[in-house]
Structure 1
């Protein structure tokens, strides 16, 4: 007699949608092609074939720009990106420095216009970062799990189902704007060992003491710590300015308690909600990882100044901060086939380098999600009719996109929620040479995870802000 074994649910992802107005071409591409056609036709009508050849210097580059793609992006979309980058360079906006702020209620972050107001809930003592421009209040939870890869199939199935319930509950809460999961590896500096050595070691010149001191010094550079945070952005109560009223504070705390209970059901332990006193120690490693390790205890960051002063220098393909350089990647395509829920293991469990993996989930209202799906289905139907008219064959990727839309619509009608996911990966190193090696290792790990990633260029400042800070600020 055999014992039945539990089968772990596999994960399935849809393809990255490339929507267009006509034959997969966007509005900008169609506008450029229209101009190229007008120039070519005008040349033919004015001077025949000679006019067409003479005008080729104009209409041919426009035609290429309207149809060609570079690194998965149409050429016409590169033009505003490059222009914006050079404009920012000319205006010296790629280098930003923040100063220390005297009040403990203001948070200055390079790349974020203005300051973010920081308040605190009365009971949980959770720091609430108020983004007045976005109208959101963000709280950060430090979490830890009991492992997944070494669990048996039944335990893995339970955790996957529980995490699915956590995501489903987000879609049922209208106050939830965005949820961000941040998994980062940072230098630890062997703070506990160095602290014990300073307090307990005797000052002697023995070879054993010298050897132990050398080992502790080496651990300063090699020790690593893995942190996990869940940040939730909630809609700010109407009329909230400098402080929360009692009803608004109670409602926000109920949301945080509900998230704590949901995470506990998924066997994730919330160690604590990050308080205002520890907010600087939580955010600082994103800009100064080596300095945070040198400080010994992360809690030593002064609460009176939260995060500053610090500076960033943005380059085309990387970002330089106080003590490190960073490069951020965007996950352009999740695995196309069904995969085990632990498919991200090569990216998350890297033995070398410092890496931050971020998953951003934005709940979509059911009505809005259905409108987007039906609009996309209409666009696909129009493209199919146009392809049939010109004699083009529908490719398999288009069929897969239509099938994904039908599946999503069925799930929404059945009562499930819809979430928009974005994956970002930030690689951190001390020097550019080390960064190149770490980026190569990250690209290899992404390939092992069956994910396609793209290094963002001209947007490293915004990308670093969205990927490394657990502030649930959303995508680019």
Structure 2
């Protein structure tokens, strides 16, 4: 009898480094401004001057200390200012102009994603998305895989190692690759189960067996959902310029290089027992976009879709949610991952929620070794400086500071050992047909994330940009 070995997963803490004593640059500037108002008034007019200017320096100082949604108020200033500016300029409201068709080859998406273009490969009919601002070219694959939680522990460990090797290979290609994995969960009302049972039910079968299957189907149908896994692969056309000279120049050369990366990724996923069913063409990718913006689109019988008309008809961005077409959406950021040993299937409770329409998006971005080493050295200097300053002031160092410093040391040790350094960001998009259902889904998702050992935060003032990066398979760089 063989002994099974489970590979635990543990993540580092979210870094909270600052300019001085763990305080961020805006908080230090705010406190300095408060002292700049208080000290001259005390020296010039004494206590009376301090009391006279109390509303000014107390308000400025409180902005650096008081918190709203677990963040200092001063750190909300850029987000609030940007949102107000876009609201005044009318950029939070989008309406499709039927009388002004989109230029050929562009996507009908709102916001800064409107500049994205698509290219169709003439041989394979695969669709590639080109972002002229970010200088990226992206292709999307539909991946099939067995139920991970039903596999043995050894088999789970083997597949996790295969996936890690696939990411490590992307980090060594030098093409500036970025990978986005989307797990789309759509409550389907049992259409798939009922259709399968109607097609396979035998009229001459044993009545007892038929009755048992009918009872099973009736029990399972209310909690059934359709799950779909997409993998978006993006390359940086600027960093891949030297590698694509053999194929010419421009977008044609970048497309040829992306084809090579797609073949390489397909082979890497096959080694991890992940089967690439197909690389999406225009119609499949357009249907994916319409499903994200229009709840219920996936259950209808629709003609072939075009990427030029795959965007929303209308969209209104609010402070904490979006209203698009016939649905409401909000985006949550996974701010903390499990900091204790967790099994590889720790996200099972979050992904398989009953009755929640959601898209879990994880974006992986390899970091060049020299850039990673510079960031590690900078972090080590900042932690050492903070510890020295706290010792001079007689302050006691927090345990969280030592844990974060140890995480940096572990990261450096892995990098020196030859492992790749990868940044990753997790976002959750929730969609419902009413605002009340959306709030209920957000509360349920927060509880499910807690059970998985994760913490989630709703993104405020940037829902439109976050929705584009989290709900659509375009592998955009995200910075919550």
> Normalized against structure 1, the TM-score is what?
0.88
Closer, same or farther: CA 192–150 of 1 in aligned 2, 3 Å: closer
Moved over 6 A (4+): 189-196, 219-223, 239-243
Q: Deviations over 1:433-469 (max 9, x none)?
A: 1112111111110111010000111111111111100
Distance 1:49 1:394 in 2: 34
Cα displacement (A) at 1:123: 4.2
Query: Which aligned pairs between 1:279-358 and structure 2 lie closer than 5 A?
Result: 279-293=285-299, 295-296=300-301, 300-303=303-306, 305-308=308-311, 310-358=313-361
Measure the CA separation in 1 of the matches of 2:222 and 2:110.
Answer: 27
Are 2:134 and 1:134 equivalent residues in the alignment? yes
Question: Paired residue for 1:125?
Answer: 125
Give me the whole-angstrom Cα distance separating, in 2, the residues matched to 1:60 and 1:408: 41
What SS does the corresponding residue of 1:107 show, helix, strand or coil? coil
Structure 2 equivalent of residue 216 of structure 1: none
User: What CA distance in whole angstroms lies between the structure 1 residues aligned with 2:248 and 2:368?
Assistant: 27
1:220 to partner: Cα distance: 12
2:66 aligned partner = 68
1:425 matched residue in structure 2: 428
Measured at CA, do residues 311 and 104 of structure 1 come closer, stay the same or move farther in structure 2, by a change above 3 Å? same
1:127·1:275 contact (CA, 8 Å) conserved in 2?
yes
Deviations 1:347-366 (A, max 9, x none): 11112110111101111001
Distance 1:75 1:146 in 2: 46
Whole-Å Cα distance in 2 between the matches of residues 375 and 158 of structure 1?
A: 35
**Structural RMSD (CA):** 2.5
- Could you tell me how far apart the structure 1 residues matched to 2:401 and 2:436 are? 41
- Other-structure match for 2:217: none
Task: Report the alpha carbon displacement of residue 224 of structure 1 after superposing the two structures with TM.
Answer: 3.5
Give the aligned partner of residue 211 of structure 2.
none
State the distance in 1 between where 2:471 and 2:341 align: 28
Indicate the residue corresponding to 1:23 in structure 2.
21
- Say whether the 8 Å CA contact 2:224–2:354 is kept in structure 1: no
- SS at 1:112 equivalent: helix
Aligned residue for 2:30?
A: 32
Q: Deviations over 1:286-344 (max 9, x none)?
A: 11122342x336xx333373414522111111111112111110011001111111100
TM-score, structure 2 length as denominator? 0.88
Residue 372 (structure 1) aligned with residue 413 (structure 2): no
Helix, strand or coil: the match of 2:76?
A: helix
Measured against aligned partners, the alpha-carbon deviations of 1:183-206 in whole angstroms (never above 9, x if no partner) come to 11125477789999xxxxxxxxxx
Q: Does 1:155 align with 2:160?
A: no
Displacement, 1:419?
Answer: 0.6
3-state SS of 2:125 partner:
coil
For the structure 1 residues 130 and 429, does the alpha-carbon distance in structure 2 shift closer, same or farther, using more than 3 Å as the test? same
Q: Structure 1 pair 356/309, CA: closer, same or farther in 2 (3 Å)?
A: closer
Verify: 1:463 aligned to 2:461, yes or no: no
Q: Which runs of 5+ in 1 are unaligned?
A: 197-218
Q: Assess if the C-alpha contact under 8 Å between 1:98 and 1:109 holds in 2.
A: no
Q: Distance in 2 between matches of 1:114 and 1:424?
A: 21
Secondary structure of residue in 1 paired with 2:375: helix
Equivalent runs, 1:428-467 vs 2, <5 Å:
428-467=431-470
- Residue-pair matches, total: 448
Q: Is the 8 A contact 1:110 1:311 kept in 2?
A: no
Distance 1:284 1:193 in 2: 24
8 Å contact 1:119–1:243 — kept in the other structure? no
Corresponding residue number in structure 2 for 1:52: 50
Distance 1:99 1:56, change over 3 A: same
User: Is the Cα–Cα contact under 8 Å of residues 187 and 290 in structure 1 kept in the other structure?
Assistant: no
Which stretches in structure 2 are left out of the alignment for 5+ residues? 197-219
Of 277, 284, 299, which residue of structure 2 is paired with 1:278?
284
Equivalent residue in structure 2 for 1:413, among 416, 419, 427: 416
Cα distance change of structure 1 residues 178 and 445 upon mapping to structure 2, 3 Å threshold: same
C-alpha separation in 1, matches of 2:347 and 2:170: 23
Q: Contact between 1:99 and 1:308, CA under 8 Å: does it hold in 2?
A: no
Instruction: Report SS of the residue matched to 1:106.
Output: coil
- The 1:154/1:459 distance shift into structure 2, 3 A limit, reads same
Query: Which residue of 2 is the match for residue 235 of structure 1?
Result: 236
1:244-291 deviation line (CA, Å, top 9, x unaligned): 43x544322111000011111111111100112322112111111223
- Residues 186 and 227 of structure 2 are in contact (CA less than 8 Å); yes or no, is this contact kept in structure 1? yes
- What is the distance in 1 between the residues matched to 2:290 and 2:189? 15
> What is the distance in 1 between the residues matched to 2:248 and 2:429?
34
Cα distance in structure 2, aligned partners of 1:43 and 1:224? 65
Between the aligned partners of 1:244 and 1:380, the Cα distance in structure 2 is 44
